[in-house]
Amino acid sequence: MPYGQWWRRHRRAFWQHFRPDAVLGYQQAQCQIARRFLRALLQDPSELVEHIQYTALGSLMKVIYDIDVVGETDFKTYSSVLRSVQEGVGEVFQPGSSLIEYFPVLRWLPSFLPGGSYVRRASKWRSSAYHLREEPFVRAQKTFQSVSSVAFLHRLLKRVAASASESAALVSEETEIAENVAAVSLSGTLPVTYSLLQAFFLAMSQHPDVVKKAQEELDSVVGNNRLPDFGDQDKLVYLTAIVKETLRWHVVVPFGVPHCTTRDDELRGYYIPANTVLLPNIWACLHDPEAYEDPEDFRPERFIRDGKLDPSVRDPSAFAFGFGRRRVVCPGRHFAEAALFINIASVLHVFDIGPPLDGAGKPIKIQYKMTNGFLSYASTSESYVGMANSPRYDRYPEDCRCSIVPRSAQAERLIREAQ
């Protein structure tokens, strides 16, 4: 979509429902999904990656469409569609991955002829993108007038209904904007939450001292008779620092999203002509040794001074979620940060996390090693096996196994009784 009025209308609709005060309305749903995540981990911690995927997908489907992803059929259907869409995005982002880049006429080649494999794959990706855009939207359309919901699509649809008296063209445009924004919200925010949560578990399995400090803070602030919620966030300084360090240590989009200059510009003596494609090196910004001492180390303490968050330390959120005009970054930033906080706080409050164990009960040392791609997230689940060597948008730790056990009988009781 080119930058212009049509793009701005989409951006405005997105921002209105994902700005900081709007995200507050999604906290109850995020808490409920986080508690469901705890129960899944308690039942079968060996399926960590799938539980994370389920949690990330479930919270977004609820907040966007008011759809509860509670059955295996829904989960597998949406996961498969999203996987296909992400595969297509990865192919597009991979320079030189297709001969069509060099010979555009090949796009008209019949798919059954030799060399038509890209056309066949593109047809599959197009079908998946259409399904992702249409199916949940139609489900939400059927209920938005009869159900009281915080889902932002319901509010967009009510705005569409309110414009019905103006013109059919406006209704059609507003409906298309609502449909597009909902689909982009899902496909854009899901991989970020999914990636960061997996990186968190990997980091905790390697840093038992961080787990212990966070649990001491949680015990002091929350106690052992309830689970943490968003009302505790201001007092959970060390845990908030863990969120920041996760964003810094594991850069989800190392080179950001490509931008294009709209006019000639100059930066520190470098002439940048109009229509230049720019790739911001976000990874370098968040691993700059001048800003972060020993940047390869996972060290939440770097963000704390005198028991409070240190405002003089470069905030990873200013880089991790991209760049834009007037410092406007990814509109889903606040939702992703909230999801990261409530899941990290909930997990550390009731679980001990450590390295995985071998058959003899001895710890297995897991290296933080990434596959190639533009977007980072761990993937050891069946959903993504076999895609690691294909051109793709995502990049992830090759192994994020860990041991996850309840801290106590009381912690297990909290998990089972959580609503």
Question: Residue 120: which pLDDT band, with cuts at 50, 70 and 90?
Answer: low
What is the reported pLDDT for 320?
78
Output the pLDDT for position 384. Answer: 40
Q: How far apart are the first and last CA of the chain?
A: 41
Check whether 414 has a pLDDT greater than 80. Answer: yes
Residue 319 pLDDT exceeds 50? yes
Please report which confidence band the pLDDT of residue 376 belongs to, taking 50, 70 and 90 as the band edges: very low
Give me the residue spans of the domains in the chain.
5-417
pLDDT tens-digit readout, 266-293: 989 999 999 998 888 888 999 999 999 9
Please report the pLDDT score of residue 401 as a whole number: 85
Q: What is the pLDDT, as a whole number, of residue 159?
A: 77
* Nearest in space to 182 (alpha carbons), one of 124, 134, 126: 134
Report the range out of 328-332, 339-343, 353-357 with the highest average pLDDT: 339-343
User: Which residues make Cβ contacts (< 8 Å) with residue 312, sequence separation at least 6?
Assistant: 305
- Token pair, residue 314, equals 């470069």
The pLDDT-based confidence of 344 (bands split at 50, 70, 90) is: very high
pLDDT greater than 70 at residue 97 = no
Q: Report pLDDT for 134.
A: 77
pLDDT at position 318 is 82
The model carries a pTM of 0.85
C-beta separation of 207 from 298 below 8 A: yes
Residue 92 — pLDDT band, cuts 50, 70, 90? Answer: low
Percent of the chain with pLDDT over 70: 75
pLDDT of residue 140: 81
**Higher model confidence: residue 75 or residue 390?**
75
pLDDT digits (tens, 9 = 90+) for 33-90: 999 999 999 999 999 988 998 888 888 888 888 888 876 666 777 676 767 666 656 6
CB-based burial, 31-65: b 16+ in 10 Å, e otherwise: bbbbbbbbebbbeebebbbbbbbbbbbbbbbbbbb
Higher pLDDT, 146 or 417: 417
CA distance 334 to 23: 7
Residue 118: predicted pLDDT:
58
**pLDDT, position 61:** 86
Choice between 259 and 33, residue whose per-residue pLDDT is larger: 33
Record the tokens describing residue 65, joined without a space: 């469409």
Query: What is the band of 228 on the pLDDT scale with cuts at 50, 70, 90?
Result: very high
CATH 1.10.630.10 fits 5-417, yes or no: yes
Inform me whether the pLDDT recorded for 18 exceeds 70: yes
Q: Per the annotation, does 31 bind a ligand?
A: no
Choose among 75, 54, 62, 71: nearest CA to 30: 62
Higher pLDDT, 125 or 51: 51
Instruction: Say whether pLDDT at 93 is over 80.
Output: no
